[in-house]
A = this chain, B = another copy of it.
Amino acid sequence: MLISDGLTRVSDGVSIVRGEEELFRRTGHLFANATELTCAANDLATWVAGHKSEALANAMAGRLHHVRIRKIYRSDLLLDLPSARELARRRDHFGAQIRVTTEEINETIIIDRRVVILAGDLSAGRRGYSVITQPETIQGVMSLFETVWRSATDLAVHDAQVAEIRRLAPAVLDLLSQGVKDEAAARKLGLGARTYRRRVAELMDALGAESRFQAGVRARELGLV
C-alpha cells in the first residue's frame, strides 16, 4: 500500500521509508521526547548523528540526564582519530554509553522500546528504512540488539585494550609484520622461542584473532602496525 511518496505501509506496524530526509521528517519528532535511545551504526554519518544532531541536541537539551543513550559502532571507526575523538565527545557530552564491536552490524535505532528503525538496502540512491511499531517485532529486535550489546566492548575498555596491546607487544608486532620467523624473532628479542610464541599467542588473544592472518588484519585495523 503506497500511502505517499516515500512511505509505504507494508502491514500493521511496519512502514518503509525511502531516504534519510524522509525518515527524519517522519520520525524526527520521536527523538524529542525519547527517554531511551538505542542505536547501532557503522559510521558517524547517519542522519541521527549528522547535520541534524544539533537540532536534536537542542530539542533534547535539559533532558539529557533523563535519557539513556546506548550506541554501538564498528571498531573500524576508531582507526580514524577525528572519529574516535568525536565518539569520546559524544560519550562525554550526551552521557551516552558507547560500545564497540568488530562485527558488521545493521544500522538500527530503537526508541523507547516502542519504535524500531532498521536500515535496509539502497534503492534509486536512497536507503530504505523499516519503521516498526509492531510490539512483538520490536521485542525480537531488542533482544537481538541486547545480544550484540553484551558481546560488544565498552569504548573505554576498548581503548584500554588497544593501549595494553601497544604496551605489551610493539616489538612482536613489528617482527610479525616483517614476516620474520619465530626462531629469528625470538633471537632478535633475546627471548626463548617459547616465550616469543607465548607473546604472539597473547597478542592474538588480545586481538581476538584465530589465525595469524586475521591477527595481521586486526592489527592493521587498529593502526598498531
Indicate the member of A210, A211, A212, A217 with the most B CB atoms within 10 Å. Answer: A217
Indicate how many identical chains form the complex.
2
What 0/1 readout, one digit per residue, does chain A (194-223) give for beta carbons within 8 Å of chain B?
Answer: 000000000000000111111111111100
Q: Please, which residue of chain B has its CB at the minimum distance from the CB of A221?
A: B220
What distance in Å separates the Cβ of A86 from its nearest Cβ neighbour in chain B?
19
Q: Cβ of A178 < 8 Å from any Cβ of B?
A: yes
Instruction: Return chain B residues, CB-CB under 8 Å to A211.
Output: 176, 179-181, 212
A215 touches B214 (CB 8 A): no
Q: Cβ of A225 < 8 Å from any Cβ of B?
A: yes
A residues touching B (Cβ–Cβ < 8 Å)? 176-181, 209-221, 225
Q: Could you list 7 examples of A-B contacts with CB < 8 Å?
A: A176-B213, A177-B213, A213-B215, A214-B216, A216-B218, A216-B220, A217-B225
Assuming A176-B213, A179-B213, A212-B212, what are 4 further A-B pairs, CB within 8 angstroms?
A180-B211, A211-B212, A215-B216, A217-B217
